[in-house]
Chain A
Amino acid sequence: MAETIPVGHAPEHAHEHHEPGFVAKYLWSTDHKMIAMQYLFTGSAMALLGGFFAYVFRSQLAFPGMSVPGFGLVSPNEYNALITNHGAIMIFWFAMPVLIAAFGNFLIPLMIGADDMAFPKINRLSYQIFLLSVLVLFVSFFVEGGAFGGAWTMYPPLSATAEYNQTPLGTTLFVTAVALEFVAFLMGGINFVVTAMNSRAPGMRMYDIPIVVWMIVLASIIFMASVGPLVAGAVMLLFDHNLGTAFFDPKRGGDPVLWQHLFWFFGHPEVYVVLLPAVGIVAEIITVFARKKLFAYKTVLYTAFGTGVLSFTVWAHHQFIAGIDPRMANVFTITTLLISVPVAEMMFVYIATLYGGSITLETPMLWALSFIATFLIGGVTGIFLGASGTDIYLHDTYFVLAHFHYTFVPIAVIGTFAGVTFWFPKMFGRMLDDRLGKIHFWGTVIPFNLIFIPLFVLGVAGEHRRIWDFTQFPELSAPWMRDLDKLATLSLWVMLSFQIVFLVNFFWSLRRGPKAPKNPWASNTLEWTADSPPPHGNWKELPTVYRGPYEYSVPGREQDYWPQNVPN
């Protein structure tokens, strides 16, 4: 076993481009940790692109007619393409690859005591297909007619019928890119589920599996069960668009609302697909930094499972004003309000875990705590949208937009930073700088709230989303509204610039940071028993497991933690 290969050190070795074997080591590797890094870096790069798009269109909204530095004037069509690709990139090419694929790949084998994924070659293939989907998306920006601009929901007829769709090639490429991405994640997800089910270390029972592994597995299963109808729908959409079928064209016997059903049957569970890994990451962090057992391990699991099941019963709350039967709207109102119960419950389990703990506020812990706080706001505002009565007024306003960003930003941005700052020592063998980490934390979380609280207000005041220039509507141009719009945009600029602090911290620490010990946070789970960073194969001798992952501050033990692999 070549135990000195520093797997996961791609950036550090970037100067070794000519070294033979670079491709084999960094691009063609089947090592789960290397594939995790590939997903992490690709997904993060996409997040920067999606953030750049947000910067461009938010600048347009606050300062209409201004030439946006780094982009230029934004035409209405470009605006549509920008919001579409911003949304799609953030969900499909940032949240999923980072939260599920990167953390899943890195953590599952290490946390269950395996040397790799069950199917390493399929693992590599799934990343390659994912990369292909990224390339197809990039090509779609530059083809004739321009990039797709029909929103990430791809509603027909905008996405299907030639007479409404001015971006024929862009649309085809966009849908193809999404389809390829689904294929990659289906392959990856099956690998995760099978690995977690079958490749566990000797002694690891069901309830000894760390929560985050469970969550990634549940997320993969939800994804698998929800994406099928949309795959079928995507095929039908591509046929409508390119072969002239009429699945979704009402003029010729089709039904555009069918697309909405197929899309949201996937689209709503998708929120839980990205939510659950973040919830899992937070669970790992708060137990470590509160030195306490997770308040109710099994309850968290069962509620996560329940949330997963319930998430399949709420999709039509996106169609309250699409002409569905009001009686059906009542049913979906009830299921939607029901789903907030298990989610709130998970948050309360975390708060109960914190209660009475000896909390240390290191950077990962700050992120984890802010996850709970911001996500609660997202959840509470969701109640207004889940009830059909209020949603009919608020539908497609900036209130909706602020609501789902109050769920997605904690999930994707905060969850990712929590996970990366927590596992950085294991991933790269060095420590991040805590002071820079805290500056970055406050520089992200404060402006985040200053972006989206104004958008709640503007939404209630009637600002509709997917509008290029509000000043064209006198009733939306009151000075206080324009001011709030500017506040949101300026806060975005601040938030984006503070990401530079993180990048500096990340790349500086990668090379110069103090060497990380094996277990810097005194955590129980198995990944901390491997070297930092773990070599190919992870351990010289694979671990055996004796207990659950959250035995902190057990009375009668001289240490406040009790790792899973230490015999009694």
Chain B
Amino acid sequence: MSSARPIATTRSAAGMPTGRLAVWWVIASEIVIFGGIIASYVMYRLAHDAFAESAAHTATWIGATNTFILLTSSLFAVLGHKAAEHGDGPKAARMLHLTALGGLCFLLLKSYEWTMEITHGFTITASTFWSFYYTAAGLHALHVAVGILIMLIVAQTAKRNLELHRVELIGLYWHFVDIVWIFLFPLLYIAK
């Protein structure tokens, strides 16, 4: 019947659970999206020395703090996965809540940073560097926000010991978002 899960969902001819396989493909398709914007940025950066001057106005300490926050949140995602593997749904949910909290701190700090910069006149139209800055980091922040949302949904079911495999899947996605930031941080803040 249509309400039951199709057998196609549970088969595993490639030897990897279907959900995990799908998340890897999602990540692959996201890599090329960020790849496109990062490659464009690098080309412009190499061609225009003026970028360095603009980049000097970014708040490196905020970027660094945010990197630290994101990395820590990823650690909680790992702990959540471990708890889920042991069948401890409530603990996995707690860990996911901590991960989401990290994401939230990241976004709050980012909003503070952007407000500062915009009030200093560094808006998205100030120069091509700032256009890239807001576009790339904005796209990333959007991914953080979506990740938080999904994380809360997964935590909700995990708490009742349901669908525990999803804890790993959202964790994979979160690490990816984390790694994108690891690329953006030096490119936007350090390469001055």
Contacts and interface: CB of A to CB of B under 8 A. Distances in A.
Interface of A: 1-2, 29-31, 109, 114-120, 186, 189-191, 193-195, 197-200, 204, 224-233, 235-236, 239, 243-247, 252-255, 258, 262, 265, 536-537, 542
B35 A228 contact: yes
Interface string B22-57: 100110111111111101100110001010000000
Given A194-B25, A228-B32, 20 more contacts: A30-B2, A116-B6, A116-B9, A119-B18, A119-B22, A194-B18, A197-B13, A198-B16, A225-B28, A228-B31, A228-B35, A229-B32, A229-B33, A232-B33, A236-B40, A243-B124, A246-B131, A258-B40, A536-B1, A537-B6
Given A224-B32, A258-B40, A193 B25 contact: yes
6 contacts: A200-B11, A200-B13, A235-B139, A246-B125, A265-B36, A537-B6
B125 A232 contact: no
A235 B11 CA distance: 37
Given A115-B8, A228-B36, A262-B40, A245 B125 contact: yes
B146 interface: no
Given A230-B36, A243-B125, A262-B36, A194 B22 contact: yes
A536 B32 contact: no
A198 B125 contact: no
Quick one: which of B34, B37, B43, B127 has the most chain A CB within 10 A? B37
A245 B11 contact: no
Contact of A245 (B8, B33, B43, B124): B124
Nearest to A197: B14
A114 B11 contact: yes
Contacts of A199: 7-9, 11, 13, 18
Contacts of B125: 243-246
B128 A232 contact: no
A194 B30 CA distance: 16
A254 B129 CA distance: 10
Contact of A118 (B1, B9, B35): B9
A282 to B, nearest CB: 26
B63 to A, nearest CB: 21
Nearest to B11: A199
Contacts of B2: 29-31, 536
B128 A239 contact: no
A224 B31 CA distance: 10
B119 interface: no
B6 A115 contact: yes
Contacts of B13: 197-200, 204
Task: Name the 4 nearest CB pairs between A and B, nearest first.
Answer: A228-B32, A229-B36, A232-B36, A116-B6
A2 B1 contact: yes
A198 B128 contact: no
Contacts of A225: 28-29, 32
Contacts of A117: 6, 8
Nearest to B37: A232
B29 A228 contact: yes
A486 to B, nearest CB: 44
A245 B18 contact: no
A239 B131 contact: yes
A328 to B, nearest CB: 14
Quick one: which of A109, A193, A245 has the most chain B CB within 10 A? A245
Given A193-B25, A536-B2, A232 B11 contact: no
Contact of A247 (B12, B30, B39, B128): B128
B65 interface: no
Nearest to B36: A229
B29 A195 contact: no
A231 B6 contact: no
B8 A224 contact: no
B35 A229 contact: yes
A291 B54 CA distance: 68
Contacts of B39: 229
A29 B1 CA distance: 12
Contacts of B115: none
B135 interface: yes
Given A30-B2, A246-B131, A115 B7 contact: yes
